[in-house]
Amino acid sequence: MIEIANPEEMQETIIGLKKSGKRIGVVPTMGYLHEGHRALIRDARKENELVVLTIFVNPAQFGQGEDFDRYPRDIERDRQAAIDEQVDYIFHPSIGDMYPEGYATYVDVENITETLEGEWRPGHFRGVTTIVLKLFQITQPDNAYFGQKDAQQLMVIKKMVSDLHIPVKIKRVPTVREKDGLALSSRNVYLSPGERQQAAVLYRALQRAEVDIRRGERSRDIIVGMIRDMIKAVGNISIDYVEIVDPVTFRKVQFLENNREHCIALAVRIGKVRLIDNIFV
């Protein structure tokens, strides 16, 4: 495994490798790898001759007062995970290399970024699309792997890629969960043991919604109300949103249609930790 920090060096290396016809799979992450990331890497490993793992905690996607400074980092452990999963290259640039003084260029995807995470984290998706476009230019992937857990992010990136004709396939990888259903997240490490137990309610509520829908429930208000009640019953969890949306446009849905997929997405705060989750139904 080779580690590269310099963007130009990474780009030149990749351009050289592409000439030999190797397919390149890229897994963009903010590091502090867990089983969810490993699932992305494993899919990349299966479908490409070369796997590049990028590790960069991207300041542009964190808002004022968010957890950029205390976002967990452990490059030593990440390095070992990358070796275990047979990653070929780790790209982990410095902030100064990615956003040098005078940096001025940003990518905006309109509409789909206006709901849910876009409403609660203004500027977040602008930071995401900008860094992902930069990483794609540097690492020139044939395939790039993103987790279903960040469902809206995944669709925002798909929209950007399609609108800008970026020659990469975006691959969606299912959410990996703990035994009690909690979606894996680097931020879970900051939950106290009590909070960690409470957090299991999120997936329980989503699963209950799935059952209700299978039994015929079609009203957004009733489904969302049920989820909110289940979460509130646990106490100590503050809800940012619970919403049912179209899984492509992320527009809010008032009544579920038969024979169409919907995404139920939520975001909550447990203590200082913000968690998101979703299911497709």
Nearer to a second copy by Cβ, of 134 and 274: the residue is 134
Choosing from 37, 92, 124, 262, the catalytic residue is 37
Stretch that binds a second copy, among 78-86, 163-171, 203-211, 270-278 (CB under 8 A): 163-171
Out of 64, 96, 101, 104, name the contact with a second copy by CB under 8 A.
Answer: 104
Amino acid at 89: Y
Q: Under the criterion CB under 8 A, does residue 5 sit at the interface with a second copy?
A: no
Q: Report helix, strand or coil for 8.
A: helix
Q: Does residue 6 bind a second copy (CB under 8 A)? A: no
The H-or-E segment that residue 169 falls in is: strand 169-173
Using CB under 8 A as the binding rule, the residues of this chain from 105 to 144 that contact a second copy are 105-112, 129, 133-134, 137-138, 140
Task: Specify whether the CB–CB gap between 253 and 247 falls below 8 A.
Answer: no
Write down the least CB distance from residue 129 to a second copy, Å: 8
Give min distance, CB of 87 to a second copy, in A: 21
Q: Interface with a second copy by CB under 8 A: which range of 15-23, 62-70, 82-90, 225-233?
A: 15-23
Site for a second copy contains 15 (CB under 8 A): yes
Q: Select from 158-166, 184-192, 238-246, 252-260 the region that touches a second copy (CB under 8 A).
A: 158-166
Contact by Cβ (8 Å): 47, 9? no
Residue 165 in contact with a second copy, rule: CB under 8 A: yes
User: What is the length of the chain?
Assistant: 281
Between CA 149 and CA 26 the distance in angstroms is 18
Nearer to a second copy, 116 or 237 (CB): 116
* Residue carrying structure tokens 């969302």: 224
Confirm if 160 and 107 have CB atoms less than 8 A apart.
yes
Distance of closest approach, residue 74 Cβ to a second copy, in angstroms? 27
CA distances from 217 to 2, 19, 194, 200, 278 (A): 52, 54, 33, 23, 18
Please indicate whether residue 262 is annotated as part of the active site: no
Q: How many CB atoms lie within 10 A of CB 90?
A: 23
